[in-house]
């Protein structure tokens, strides 16, 4: 029987259990994957604690972003998928599907082929990070040459994807991180500037970098009280995208800064276009083209075996990583 990871109570990584489970058969519009690697995301860390968009129905599987080979397809699915190397596009229900294990049944609509030059570990590290950043910065934000873009939590996989997207557009990627420990890594990975927010005044540094104009786009997964500082760094008519709540604190609306600058503060998630086929295809094509020609390359921070799923999620939550944390199967 294949091994899978699931949990029986809400909590941190320690609630995860590795266990045997009967092999599943794909139903209508589903496929079964032989999983090779799974990329970890903050979404799962929030989900297992009960802080995500949907509450887990216990016991629950977990895992959004798997790379593997299609073993079988259910009714209504093109049989040509069998044998293809794919990775799943997150956004489906983890109550209904979970990808962390040796085998996973997932919706056929979640499948995305990735360039053959990538390893399964890299294949499991593309869709969540690049699509999340693409949706805010390209699809909605229309990032363009010369724009200044502030990217908090820049050493995360989504943060690094955002840096690559901003640089590809000819814009200025201003990476924000808590201390200067990761400064060299972020500069080496393409950031134009790095601001250590516990050591430097972010609005003052952004003003200095932009000649007093501020950042047109701010792409923030942290939220909480620090949005007041981010708002002070915005340009006139700027947009502050909030796509996560990693601070787990209440998030104020920065009224005075918003009024002075005509600032828009916008909640955002990948789910906004996950079920829109035309937009999803546009995102896939944009990302695959740049992965294929080398403009984009996912960075793997560390890989863990499936038997160390608890340790892998602990490492994800430690904030020590630069790039994607992956479990290999």
What is the pLDDT, as a whole number, of residue 248? 84
Which residue is listed with tokens 């600032």? Answer: 263
What is the pLDDT, as a whole number, of residue 274? 85
309 alpha-carbon distance from chain centroid:
18
Token pair for 297 = 């390359």
How many whole angstroms separate alpha carbon 72 and alpha carbon 26? 7
Pairing of strands 60-61, 111-113: unpaired
Confidence check: pLDDT of 53 > 90:
no
Domain ranges of the chain: 3-126+298-328, 129-271
Angle between helices 277-292 and 127-134 (to 10 degrees): 110
Strand order in the sheet with 264-267: 193-196, 172-177, 148-151, 215-220, 234-242, 264-267
Token pair for 300 = 């793997």
Q: Is the peptide bond before 23 cis (omega within 30 degrees of 0)?
A: no
Give pLDDT tens digits for 222-277: 999 999 999 999 999 999 999 988 888 999 999 999 999 999 999 999 989 988 99
Band of pLDDT at residue 74, cut at 50, 70 and 90: very high
Confidence check: pLDDT of 207 > 90:
yes
Give pLDDT tens digits for 54-64: 899 999 999 99
The DSSP bridge partners found for residue 143 are: none
| Residue-averaged pLDDT of the chain | 96
Confidence check: pLDDT of 51 > 90:
no
Q: What share of the chain is helix, strand, coil (3-state, %, to 5)?
A: 35, 25, 40
What is the pLDDT, as a whole number, of residue 119? 96
User: Could you give the C-alpha distances from 296 to 20, 270, 328, in angstroms and in order?
Assistant: 37, 19, 22
Query: Which residue, 142, 150, 282, 315, is CA-closest to 221?
Result: 150
Residues 6+ apart with CB under 8 A from 157: 39, 41, 125, 128, 129, 298, 299, 301, 323, 324
Angle between helices 309-318 and 42-49 (to 10 degrees): 110
The domain 3-126+298-328 having CATH identifier 3.90.180.10: the answer here is: yes
Confidence check: pLDDT of 303 > 90:
yes
Token pair for 185 = 């890594």
CATH superfamily of the domain spanning 129-271: NAD(P)-binding Rossmann-like Domain (3.40.50.720)
Beta strands in 119-271 (DSSP E): 148-151, 172-177, 193-196, 215-220, 234-242, 264-267
The number of C-alpha atoms within 13 Å of 166 and in the hemisphere containing its C-beta is 30
pTM of the model: 0.94
Pairing of strands 264-267, 103-107: unpaired
Pairing of strands 215-220, 300-305: unpaired
How many whole angstroms separate alpha carbon 8 and alpha carbon 23? 20
Give pLDDT tens digits for 6-49: 999 999 999 999 999 999 999 999 999 999 999 999 889 989 99
The DSSP bridge partners found for residue 234 are: 215
Token pair for 302 = 């560390």
Band of pLDDT at residue 52, cut at 50, 70 and 90: confident
Confidence check: pLDDT of 128 > 90:
yes
Structure letter (DSSP) for residue 209: H
What is the pLDDT, as a whole number, of residue 173? 98
For a pLDDT cut of 70, what percent of the chain falls above it? 100
């Amino acid at each position: 029987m294949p091994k899978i990871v699931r949990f029986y109570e809400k909590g941190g990584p320690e609630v995860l259990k590795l266990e045997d489970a009967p092999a599943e058969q794909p139903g209508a519009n589903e496929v079964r994957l032989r999983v090779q690697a799974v990329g970890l995301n903050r979404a799962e860390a929030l989900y297992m604690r009960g802080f995500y968009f949907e509450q887990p129905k216990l016991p629950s599987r977990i895992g959004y972003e798997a790379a593997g080979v299609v073993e079988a397809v259910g009714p209504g699915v093109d049989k040509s998928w069998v044998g293809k190397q794919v990775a799943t596009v997150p956004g489906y229900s983890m109550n209904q599907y979970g990808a962390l294990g040796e085998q996973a049944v997932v919706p056929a609509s979640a499948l995305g082929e990735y360039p053959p030059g990538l390893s399964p570990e890299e294949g499991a590290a593309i869709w969540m990070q690049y699509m999340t950043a693409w949706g805010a910065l390209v699809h909605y934000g229309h990032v363009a040459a010369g724009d200044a873009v502030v990217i908090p939590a820049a050493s995360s996989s989504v943060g690094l994807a955002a840096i690559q997207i901003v640089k590809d557009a000819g814009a200025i990627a201003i990476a924000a991180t808590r201390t200067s420990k990761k400064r060299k890594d972020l500069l080496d990975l393409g950031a134009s500037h790095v601001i250590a927010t516990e050591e430097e005044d972010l609005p003052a540094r952004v003003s200095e970098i932009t000649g007093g104009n501020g950042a047109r786009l701010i792409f923030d997964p942290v939220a909480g009280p620090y949005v007041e500082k981010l708002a002070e760094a915005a340009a006139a008519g700027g947009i502050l995208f909030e796509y996560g709540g990693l601070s787990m604190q209440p998030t104020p609306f920065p009224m005075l800064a918003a009024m002075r600058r005509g600032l828009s503060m916008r909640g955002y998630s990948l789910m906004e276009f996950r079920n829109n086929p035309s937009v999803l295809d546009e995102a896939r094509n944009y990302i695959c083209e740049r992965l294929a020609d080398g403009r984009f390359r996912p960075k793997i921070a560390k890989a863990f075996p499936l038997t160390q799923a608890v340790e892998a999620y602990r490492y994800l939550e430690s904030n020590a990583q630069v790039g994607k944390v992956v479990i290999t199967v």
